[in-house]
Amino acid sequence: QRIFTAILDGPEWRDFWEQPATLGRYPETASGDAAQSLWVLSQRVLRFSNRTWSAEDENIEPLLASIRANAGGQLLTAALLQASALDQANHILNTAHEQGRYCQNGKRTDVGTISKTIVTKFFAADIQAWSAQVSQRHYEIQTALSALESALTDVAPAAYRSWMEKRDAVLQQLYTGPREHVHTVQRALDNC
């Protein structure tokens, strides 16, 4: 319980997950330092859980200081931004498709051609590249995050476990959102 309180209920962990007002140039400006510190911290907690803790493992303050840099919050904000933008794009595509604006008489309309060009130019070129970088950031912290939280789940309060589930559902959208969008694009624009 004390380890949970010191790490997952401490101010550094809250700072790690604090969502910024803006993302700036995230993810290209993000550092891997927090992910590395999170990994080392998770290994120390695992050694404590396995009773193989050493005196060297006791100095966790520098690791906690390193994870303060809201890397988790940036990731959550990026995931929410992506989900919102893709939901909006899917709504527009579905509505126009249902209204027959992309295809008429088995042929793509001018609106369909323009929409296809926009999707190819912006989604495939820019948005997917950004999404891949954000997913890479998620991948960098996911293993350490899972190891750390798994070691402490038994002592985590229900409120924390509930927050974890909500957070993980948001982060899962980093992978499912683009796939669903591609499916929506194909259904709306490629079926003439």
SS (H, E, C) the chain: CHHHHHHCCCHHHHHHHCCCCCCCCCCCCCCCHHHHHHHHHHHHHHHHHCCCCCHHHHCCHHHHHHHCCCHHHHHHHHHHHHHHHHHHHHHHHHHHHHCCCCEECCEECHHHHHHHHHHHHHHHHHHHHHHHHHHHHHHHHHHHHHHHHHHHHHHCCHHHHHHHHHHHHHHHHHHHHHHHHHHHHHHHHCCC
Cis peptide before 27 (omega within 30 of 0): yes
pLDDT of residue 1: 75
CB contact at 8 A, 25 and 133: no
Task: Name the band, by pLDDT with cuts 50, 70 and 90, for residue 2.
Answer: confident
Q: Which amino acid is at 60?
A: I
pLDDT tens digits, 65-99: 999 888 999 999 999 999 999 999 999 999 999 99
Domain count, the chain: 1
pTM over 0.85: yes
57 vs 129: which has the higher pLDDT: 129
pLDDT at 59 over 90: no
pLDDT of residue 125: 82
Could you tell me which of 72, 75, 64, 68 has the C-alpha nearest to residue 17? Answer: 72
Structural domain that includes position 121: 2-189
